[in-house]
């Protein structure tokens, strides 16, 4: 397919098991097969647990792949929408997230504020656990 033009191929990845399979190891093998078929990077589906992302990366690395796996971070701006997206993607919506959102569900501005807080916390956890490209010991 890449012979058709000058473009990059990105694919989906599932930190929480694919909703139709529920097999983490199979998901990792499928992601590696996507790379072998020409994928140059992957972007994850919605997730709420940084450790799920790290486990996915570890499983893929254990199979010998160094495919870049970008964390798909979705801003939370609407409680019903994030609940629906979580259900469709198979990502469990943790009680710690759902309860914070439901506590402000009647106030759209507060939902956005809390949603940004939740995703900022997730991003901070991801950054804290991400491997560093450069050493800071000079």
CATH number at residue 114: 3.20.20.220
**Residue 59 forms part of a structural domain:** yes
**Residue 135 forms part of a structural domain:** no
pLDDT at position 3 is: 67
State the total domains in the chain. Answer: 1
Residues 112-138 have pLDDT tens digits of: 999 999 999 999 999 998 775 544 543
- Which range marks the domain in which residue 122 is found? 8-129
Residues 35-56 have pLDDT tens digits of: 999 999 999 998 999 999 999 9
**Residue 137 forms part of a structural domain:** no
**Residue 30 forms part of a structural domain:** yes
**Residue 136 forms part of a structural domain:** no
Residues 73-119 have pLDDT tens digits of: 988 999 999 999 888 887 888 999 999 999 999 999 999 999 999 99
Average model confidence (pLDDT) across the chain:
89
**Residue 2 forms part of a structural domain:** no
**Residue 104 forms part of a structural domain:** yes
Write a three-state SS string for the chain.
CHHHCCCCCEEEECCCCCCCCCCHHHHHHHHHHHHHCCCCEEEECCCCCHHHHHHHHHHHHHCCCCCCEECCCCCCCCHHHHHHHHHHHCCCCCHHHHHHHHCCCCCHHHHHHHHHHHHHHHHHHHHHHCCCCCCCCC
**Residue 23 forms part of a structural domain:** yes
């Amino acid at each position: 397919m890449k012979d058709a033009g000058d473009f990059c191929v990105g694919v989906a990845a599932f930190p929480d098991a694919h909703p139709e399979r529920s097999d983490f190891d199979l998901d990792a093998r499928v992601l590696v097969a996507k790379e072998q078929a020409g994928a140059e990077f992957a972007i994850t589906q919605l997730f709420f647990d940084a450790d799920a992302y790290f486990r996915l990366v570890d499983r893929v690395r254990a199979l010998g792949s160094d495919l870049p796996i970008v964390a798909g971070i979705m801003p939370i701006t609407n409680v019903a929408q994030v609940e629906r997206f979580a259900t469709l993607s198979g990502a469990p919506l943790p009680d710690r997230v759902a309860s914070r959102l439901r506590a402000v569900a009647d106030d759209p501005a507060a939902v956005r504020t809390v949603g940004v807080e939740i995703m900022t916390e997730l991003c901070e956890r991801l950054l804290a656990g991400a491997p560093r490209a450069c050493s800071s010991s000079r």
